Structure 1
């Protein structure tokens, strides 16, 4: 388990990285406001920080305690597969456990953009690089 609340995830998605990147940035923008916070959800309060080259950075704020997490997506084209490296980390220096929030910060964008339903979609992560990954409940966080 990481020493700080954070998560590293690698995905492989069929297609061009430009399209994958657009879908992720569009999803960040779609979840910008408070609407997804209803009924205790956290699919809300995302903010796009930068979108340049093969990298996207964003933040996610938890609606109840207003903790902020920093998100980074890096894209690498490999033939007809886009390799995406996602990283989310808590801005709170003392955060160790996060109820899988950092994983869900990333996964909710992938799921919301429909990328997990593309052909040959592959996700790679583990508890050793992603805080509380094996107990993730992204319907809640």
Structure 2
């Protein structure tokens, strides 16, 4: 498929889709704990899901890679086990390390330039880390996203992706 055909397809889909024109997801969370604790849990979870063990039975809770961690941001990559697609993940922390409650902006985007639909994979890239780290069960937890900023969010199946 040539570039012009892809552009025409994306333009046509933009009228049909209510979400981003590129496979991606934005989420805002609030956690009832200090940001340094949230950061530690996320970094540990990314490392724990770095191997292939979570790929069993067709799952995608695996092949995460930590690329950087600072006092304000964590970046990582997730590779899908079957097709080898790579998504870039960013967790940006609002406020300082001791901010409580901790507010985090998450973003996942496909490195594949022509990706439009993703079956909620970019949502699951982020959500699987939050759930795996147990952050969704902390007091003061909230999550905000929608189909308009998160590709196929409402139909995401994070048990699969």
Q: TM-score range by the shorter chain?
A: over 0.9
Query: Matched residue pairs, number?
Result: 141
Structure 2: gaps (5+ residues): 1-18
Q: Are 2:102 and 1:71 aligned?
A: no
Structure 1: gaps (5+ residues): none
* Larger helix fraction of residues: 2
Q: Are 2:139 and 1:115 aligned?
A: no
Larger Rg: 1 or 2?
Answer: 2
Cα distance in 2 for partners of 1:33, 1:112 equals: 14
Q: CA RMSD in A?
A: 0.9
**CA-CA distance at 1:77 after TM superposition:** 3.5
**CA-CA distance at 1:5 after TM superposition:** 0.1
Q: Are 2:108 and 1:88 aligned?
A: yes
What is aligned with 1:140? 160
SS for the counterpart of 2:115 is coil
What is aligned with 1:43? 61
Cα distance in 1 for partners of 2:71, 2:133 equals: 20
Cα distance in 1 for partners of 2:81, 2:49 equals: 12
What is aligned with 2:7? none
What TM-score does the superposition give when structure 1 sets the normalisation length? 0.98
**CA-CA distance at 1:54 after TM superposition:** 1.0
What is aligned with 1:30? 48
* Larger strand fraction of residues: 1
Cα distance in 2 for partners of 1:13, 1:77 equals: 13
> Which aligned runs of 4 or more in structure 1 are off by greater than 4 angstroms?
none
**CA-CA distance at 1:136 after TM superposition:** 0.9
What is aligned with 1:12? 30
SS for the counterpart of 1:94 is coil
Cα distance in 1 for partners of 2:33, 2:94 equals: 11
